[in-house]
């Protein structure tokens, strides 16, 4: 192998970013277009208020749906030709429910890309799960987790279990300011695994640790390979210097993520990121690296550096992303 440069729960209000327990964080849904791309966005949501007259409710719930009609023109494509394709991308239904004043929360996302993106979505530089220069469709059950949280000895504590995001890296690109996913998706996030996550927060510091199955989904219909649950782990520390700023560092060990039988290369992953978000805009800067190993011998290294920012003024939004990512290439 060699390496070559590879050129968004927000609707539900009370929910938190995927894999982020014990964090109450604002989320602004941005959906700018992509070069050469026409975008039509459908967003629907309903739910009960999390509080009424200043008093927490024993029960809360929310339901949201989204879909993006997308036309992508790629030049050059295969053999120097141009390709233009249209899709219904990121069609999803999202729901959450809370009991006992939020002490028990359940969150789920159903993703319908197995029917709308069978060939994958044209996306220069991206790869993963058998697709190259096309984003793969995500699994039907994208996320289904329950969280039990409380407070003890001045600490905010939580335990989360189900199918979802491991505590590593940055937020799911689906809740970030672009329709097109970054090429570094498989370097910067670990998603759609069977997870158990413990989290503790005191003041501005949040610590998370999780165990999960290392193998990534093979098809959009996959759920979780429970036979491999617990063979991989990750940890993340996040510092919140202010309400609008967070700094994070992550480490993960994945056993044979590309081969469900467990006979492939192991991955050791690192991530450092800074994110700022207000009602006026958003900025993310992240660095991540994945090393492939056979036993204790490193065989390959892939790194990424990404920055993206969005500015909102009135009803106008301007967003831009810069990325440099090394990806695996088959000879």
CA-wise closest residue to 249 among 281, 291, 205, 191: 205
Residue written as tokens 């008093």? Answer: 55
Assign 116 to helix, strand or coil.
helix
Residue written as tokens 């044209």? Answer: 122
In which band, very low, low, confident or very high, does the pLDDT at 77 lie, cut at 50, 70 and 90? confident
* Mean pLDDT of the region 249-257: 98
306, pLDDT greater than 50: yes
pLDDT score, position 36: 41
Which of 47-61, 143-157, 228-242, 291-305 comes out lowest in average pLDDT?
47-61
Which of 21-25, 53-57, 159-163, 256-260 comes out lowest in average pLDDT?
21-25
In which band, very low, low, confident or very high, does the pLDDT at 330 lie, cut at 50, 70 and 90? low
In which band, very low, low, confident or very high, does the pLDDT at 322 lie, cut at 50, 70 and 90? very high
Assign 206 to helix, strand or coil.
strand
78, pLDDT greater than 80: no
pLDDT score, position 79: 80
Q: Which two tokens stand for residue 238?
A: 């996040």
Higher local confidence (pLDDT), 175 or 271: 271
Which of 25-34, 125-134, 172-181 comes out lowest in average pLDDT?
25-34
Q: Is 12 exposed, middle or buried (0-12, 13-18, 19+ CB in 10 A)?
A: buried
pLDDT score, position 313: 87
CA-wise closest residue to 20 among 186, 217, 240: 240
pLDDT score, position 76: 83
* Mean pLDDT of the region 119-137: 90
Higher local confidence (pLDDT), 36 or 200: 200
pLDDT score, position 75: 86
What pTM value is reported for the model?
Answer: 0.83
DSSP 8-class letter at 140: S
Element (H, E) at 161: strand 155-164
Check if the beta carbon of residue 185 is closer than 8 Å to that of residue 221. no
Check if the beta carbon of residue 202 is closer than 8 Å to that of residue 233. no
In which band, very low, low, confident or very high, does the pLDDT at 315 lie, cut at 50, 70 and 90? confident
- Percent residues over pLDDT 70 in the chain: 82
Give domain limits for the chain: 2-48+57-329
Check if the beta carbon of residue 250 is closer than 8 Å to that of residue 270. yes
pLDDT score, position 31: 34
Which of 87-91, 100-104, 130-134, 166-170 has the highest average model confidence (pLDDT)? 166-170
Q: Which two tokens stand for residue 248?
A: 């994070």
Q: Which two tokens stand for residue 90?
A: 């990121």
Paired strand residues for 246: 275
Q: What is the pLDDT of residues 187-218, one digit of tens each?
A: 999 999 999 999 999 999 999 999 999 999 99
């Amino acid at each position: 192998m060699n390496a070559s440069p590879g050129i968004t729960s927000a609707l539900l209000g009370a929910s938190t970013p995927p894999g982020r327990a014990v964090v109450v964080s604002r989320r602004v849904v941005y959906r700018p277009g992509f070069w050469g791309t026409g975008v039509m966005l459908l967003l629907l949501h309903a739910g009960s208020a999390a509080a009424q007259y200043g008093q927490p409710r024993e029960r809360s719930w929310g339901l949201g749906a989204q879909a993006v009609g997308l036309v992508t023109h790629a030049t050059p494509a295969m053999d120097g030709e141009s390709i233009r394709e249209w899709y219904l991308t990121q069609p999803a239904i999202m729901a959450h429910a809370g009991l006992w004043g939020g002490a028990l929360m359940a969150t789920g996302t159903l993703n319908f890309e197995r029917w709308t993106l069978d060939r994958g979505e044209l996306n220069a530089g991206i790869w993963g799960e058998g697709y190259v220069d096309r984003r793969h469709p995500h699994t039907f059950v994208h996320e289904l987790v329950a969280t039990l949280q409380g407070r003890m000895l001045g600490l905010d504590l939580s335990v989360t279990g189900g199918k979802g995001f491991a505590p590593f890296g940055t937020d799911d690109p689906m809740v970030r300011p672009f329709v097109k996913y970054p090429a570094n998706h498989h370097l910067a996030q670990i998603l759609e695994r069977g997870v158990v996550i413990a989290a503790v927060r005191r003041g501005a510091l949040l610590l998370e640790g999780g165990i999960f199955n290392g193998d990534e989904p093979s098809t959009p219909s996959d759920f979780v390979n429970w036979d491999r649950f617990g063979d991989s782990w990750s940890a993340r520390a996040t510092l919140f210097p202010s309400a609008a700023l967070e700094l994070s560092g992550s480490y993960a060990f994945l056993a044979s993520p590309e081969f469900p039988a467990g006979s492939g290369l192991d991955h050791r992953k690192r991530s450092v990121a800074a994110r700022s978000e207000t009602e006026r805009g958003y900025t993310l800067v992240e660095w991540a690296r994945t090393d492939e190993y056979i036993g204790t011998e490193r065989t390959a290294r892939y790194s990424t550096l990404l920055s993206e920012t969005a500015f909102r003024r009135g009803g106008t939004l301007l967003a831009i992303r810069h990325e440099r990512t090394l990806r695996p290439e088959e000879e």
